[in-house]
Structure 1
Amino acid sequence: TIARIIQKAGGDPEKMIIFDSTGSLNRDREDIRADSRYYRKWELCESTNPQKIQTMDEAMKGADVLIALSKSDPDTIKTRWIQSMATRPIVFACANPVPEIYPYRAKEAGAYIVATGRGDFPNQVNNSLGFPGILKGALMARARKISDEMAIVAARSLADFAEKRGIHPDNIIPTMDEAGVFPFEAADVACQAVKEGLAREDISHDEAYARAEKGIKESRELVKLMIDEGFIKTPPQSMLQTAFDWAVKEVR
């Protein structure tokens, strides 16, 4: 999905090299071509990696961006790969609960921007930033479906919000605490649904923004009230410790 969205947003597929657990995607992957369940993956085999590069060592030479969503092991991405990338490379290590490489190691290897799926590291890239705005926008417009273009608009909305309030290498994207981003995202998505003819309700950007802002504010206030009144209990420390111990055990 990520590769397809990048292509639809203007990325050049011939400059993309994608790996699955077996190896690189390319036109020689008969195992993928022969299985109709993987037709989307075969489309990527046909459109990307025309040089049929086989190894990560070779693929990483001169690369600008590495996006990983693989196994939760901090030794998955090798420092030598980052060292061989282009000047000021970007590394997205998105496995949870432990990224494919820790941010400090990626930085030491030369990465300029590092993002992970974790909220306790800088630059959390998580679907929690997408779902609230995308779903709210789709529901307000009563969209028949959520298109790739609606997802792209949501991504650009996040980027625009971050750029307006200021960005730097350790802060490239809004956080979940920046609730102001979600009404903008929802309004942009709703208007994109209208633009594509997918909306059952013709809604303006101003109306969508106002409705989203009001709904989000009321929901947050209700949750806070339920916490303050004791209807939503704080998880006991023992539960948090058990979850943490389990996560560490799974990674090891």
Structure 2
Amino acid sequence: MQNKPSFILRNPSANKGTGFSQEERNRYALRGLLPPKQESIKEQSARCYQQFISFQNDLDKYIYLNSLRDRNETLFYHLLMNNLELMFPIVYTPTVGEACQKFGNEFRFAQGMYFASGDKGHMRSMMDNWVNDQVDIIVVSDGSRILGLGDLGTNGMGIPVGKLQLYVAGAGFPPERTLPVIIDAGTNTQKYLNDDFYLGEKHPRLPNDQYYPLVDEFLQAAFDKWPNVLVQFEDFSNDHCFHLLDHYRNKYLCFNDDIQGTGSVILSGFINAVRAVQKPLKDHRLVFLGAGSAGIGVADCIMTLFEEQGVSKEDARKCFWFVDSKGLITTTRGDELTPQKKSYAREDHTAEQQLKTLLEVVKEVKPTALIGLSGIGRSFTQEIVEEMAKHVEKPIIFALSNPTNNAECTAEQAYTWTDGRCIFASGSPFKPVEYKGVVHVPGQGNNMYIFPGLGLGSSLCRAKHVTDEMIITAAKTLSTWVPDQEVLQGKIYPGLKNIRAISTQIAIKVIEKAFEQGMAQIERPESIEALVKSYQYLPEYDQTK
């Protein structure tokens, strides 16, 4: 530390506030600049907790927590880690969505880095402006598809910031080794282009011939600066996300959480849902509403279960039905399908047999599982859910769109319309539901169960790439955290209070898989668990500094 009180008290990674000892106050010229009492971090955290719960509005709570992070990083993470189930919906979904929409209006303190079209040719030198020499993980977004809210442009910075806070709390990445990034390629949302407080470049989104070189320069600069960094793509629009993943996944250490992370966490929930309904996998019929990055990612992961049980891809695909805004996706529908949609397009419907609505598909298919990743709130109507429940003893209903208002149905609706028989999961949290004297605890298929451990394992072993097998391993590891007795009662995800232990176990299994595949680029340690735990950050004051 520099011997300057202004530096110490204004540097969030160095500041301890009232936690500075008397010896430290003398050493760093802090006497008289703080109240006399020295407090432990637990005492400070108790005060911050009381301050947090005093706010009635979730956005105010979000602003409070980020302001705390900006002045005392260690205290922020101590508070967050010890109250994660309470504060997770504030630092991330659903509150982060509102925070992003109001990002320019509520801006207080810059976090992360911004790379705009005007920075073309300068990105590598800009990397040297970052405050820390070592970065282990970058979460990057271009703001083009934030949650289910659409194109927010630079306002999307709240997503990389929040995601990395969860990497720290959930997996133990040291906060100083994380970097949130926005690539500002413009926005097509007119209200932001007209907004005096919008902080991004005010022009429409760049065409592909300018957009892809911009992203490429960023990635080249990042891996030149930090050769062992892991890059997570976050909230890129469907017209770019698949191309970026396909182009870079075998070139750099990277993954797309919306495609692969979502696929993995929902695969884990589906594994347990199949355990809960006790129906052979080959007899399941899955209807998806939404065929974007998340929907295709989930289907691709679930497909691996069929293949492991000896079902050919051709036969497995017959168990999947995808519905988008134009109805059932078929090879005879008459419109141009993206490559991702083509892989799941049905070949057993003529143009005359085309089904136009989700209700029509449910009536014909009689699905065992209804999976929503459409971004369209309340699209699982009572008629649709009750129609499904007529033919299935224990319907699997996953209403996964974020934030909460975009969920295809609420937990209460799902349990009520299925007479309490469904296995339910959502993307954003819902409170427990009491129905006919039974309390049902909704599952939350949130990527936080997967990406912290997947990222930690991939980073620590310096994996060449994040492979499909590593992602499937993460899903299977998560599924084991729910015992059979709880699964049979309809619980398919563990509690978030165990997230650090879950992430640690996922990281260990991912590293083992990386060594098995020849992807790890470190010497195999005597104990992988010891390697993981020795790296993990704990938010406590270091009295030696």
Partner of residue 5 from structure 1, selected from 295, 301, 308 = 301
Paired position in structure 2 for 1:237 = none
Aligned to 1:151, the other structure's residue is in SS state helix
1:164, distance to aligned residue in structure 2 (A): 7.0
Between the aligned partners of 1:21 and 1:50, the Cα distance in structure 2 is 19
- Please give the TM-score of this superposition, normalised by the length of structure 1: 0.75
Counterpart pick for 1:134 among 426, 447, 454:
454
Question: Which residue does 2:468 correspond to in 1?
Answer: 148
Instruction: Note the residue ranges of structure 1 that are not aligned, 5 or more in a row.
Output: 227-252
C-alpha distance 43-92 of structure 1, shift in aligned 2 (>3 A): same
Aligned pair in 2 of structure 1 residues 76, 192: CA closer, same or farther (>3 Å)? same
Larger Rg: 2
Runs of 4+ residues deviating >4 angstroms: none
Structure 2 SS opposite 1:92? strand
Match in the other structure for 1:57:
359
| Partners of 2:321 and 2:344 within 8 A in 1 | no
What is the RMSD computed on CA atoms of the aligned residues? 2.5
2:427 is aligned to 117
Equivalent pair of 1:72/1:97 in contact (CA under 8 Å): no
CA distance 1:42–1:23, shift in 2 (3 Å):
same
Residue 105 of structure 1 and its aligned partner are, at CA, apart by: 0.7
Describe the shift of the 1:65–1:142 C-alpha distance in structure 2 as closer, same or farther (beyond 3 A).
same
Structure 2, unmatched stretches of 5+, are 1-296, 308-315, 432-441
Mapped partners of 1:203, 1:30: distance in 2 = 53
- Matched to 1:109, the amino acid is W
Aligned equivalents of 2:341, 2:400: Cα separation in 1: 20
| Partners of 1:183 and 1:210 within 8 A in 2 | no
Q: Which residue matches 1:39?
A: 339
Matched position secondary structure for 2:318: helix
Letter in 2 for 1:43: S
The code of the aligned residue for 1:51 comes to D
SS in 1 for 2:408: coil
Alpha-carbon distance between aligned partners in 1 of 2:306 and 2:400, rounded to the nearest angstrom: 22
In 2, Cα distance between the equivalents of 1:202 and 1:63? 48
- CA gap of 1:208–1:30, structure 2 versus 1, over 3 A, is farther
Q: Aligned partners of 2:524 and 2:484: how far apart in 1?
A: 25
The residue aligned with 1:69 is: 373
CA contact 1:137–1:208 (8 Å) conserved in 2: no
Aligned CA distance change for structure 1 residues 165 and 214 (closer, same or farther; 3 Å): farther
Q: Which residue of 1 aligns with 2:512?
A: 191
Contact 2:410 2:430 (C-alpha < 8 Å) held by counterparts: no
Question: Match for 1:26 among 324, 330, 334?
Answer: 330
TM-score (norm 2): 0.36
Measure, in 2, the Cα distance between the counterparts of 1:43 and 1:29.
Answer: 14
**Does structure 1 retain, via aligned residues, the 8 Å contact 2:414–2:424?**
yes
Note the C-alpha offset of 1:42: 1.6
Aligned to 1:208: 528
Structure-2 change in CA distance of 1:66 and 1:139 (3 Å): same
> CA shift at 1:126, angstroms?
0.8
- Give the aligned partner of residue 241 of structure 1: none
Q: Identity, % of aligned pairs?
A: 24
- Give the counterpart letter for 2:462 in structure 1: R
Report the equivalent of 2:478.
158
Distance in 1 (CA, whole Å) between partners of 2:474 and 2:372 is 21
> Residues 164 and 134 of structure 1: is their aligned pair in 2 closer, same or farther, counting only changes over 3 Å?
farther
The structure in which a higher percent of residues are strand is 2
SS at match of 1:31: coil
**Whole-angstrom CA distance in 1 between matches of 2:541 and 2:333:** 55
DSSP-derived class of the 1:96 partner? coil
The answer on whether the counterparts of 1:32 and 1:41 sit within 8 Å (CA) in structure 2 is no
Distance change >3 Å, CA 39–CA 56, structure 1 → 2 = same
Partner amino acid for 2:478? Answer: L
